[in-house]
Amino acid sequence: MKNYCRKIENYFVKVRLCRYKVGSEVKNAKEAIAAVSKYVKDLDRENFIVLHLNARNVVVAIDQSSIGSENAALISPSCVFRISLLCNATSVILMHNHPAASPVLSNAVASNEDCKVTKRLIDAGRLLGVEVLDHIIVTGNDHYSFSENNKMGQEEKC
């Protein structure tokens, strides 16, 4: 049992010591983007980033949940919410980029697949007691926020 606890503790420390700014309050999409903008903007592949927040919307961890190809990333609810449970996060903000190298995804709009993934993660988070506050798509100098566009959990309206 001691070995198992030590492994979890080491994993938690690695998450807390990531290269992003942990400890800042996030109130909207622009503040969430500011927390990871230097990292997400100029990537050549889709990256799925999760900001894990406490009850006061303060970032307790930021996790790079998935690295995909030029036009897709494989997202698993277990990978997305694993860190949330380890660091007692009460909510998350989901983010991914549409790489500039992909002409199909170079604009900040939500695809049907983005809508389906968002709905699936909202449902999974609800079961785990972790609220999904937003899903943000970042491209170059633009972004698309599901919550700003009133599309959270509304797969049929995307």
Model pLDDT for residues 63-110, shown as the tens digit of each residue: 888 776 666 677 889 989 998 998 899 999 998 887 764 545 456 677
| Region of residue 129 (phi > 0: left; psi between -120 and 50: alpha; otherwise: beta) | left
Q: Which of the residue ranges 14-28, 81-95, 141-155 has the most confident prediction, judged by mean pLDDT? A: 81-95
Contact criterion met (CB below 8 Å) for 62 and 49: yes
Bridge partners, 91 (sequence order): 53, 131
Q: Is the pLDDT reported for residue 20 higher than 60?
A: no
Q: Which residue has the higher pLDDT, 72 or 115?
A: 115
Residue 122 CB coordination number (10 Å) = 20
User: How many residues would you count in the chain?
Assistant: 158
Does 5 have pLDDT greater than 50? Answer: no
- CATH class label, 2-157: alpha beta
Sheet order of strands, 47-53 included: 59-67, 47-53, 91-97, 131-139, 142-145
pLDDT bucket at 62, cuts 50 / 70 / 90 = confident
> To the nearest whole number, what is the mean pLDDT of the chain?
76
Query: Computed from CA positions of residues 81, 117, 33, 55, in that sequence, does the dihedral angle turn out positive or negative?
Result: negative
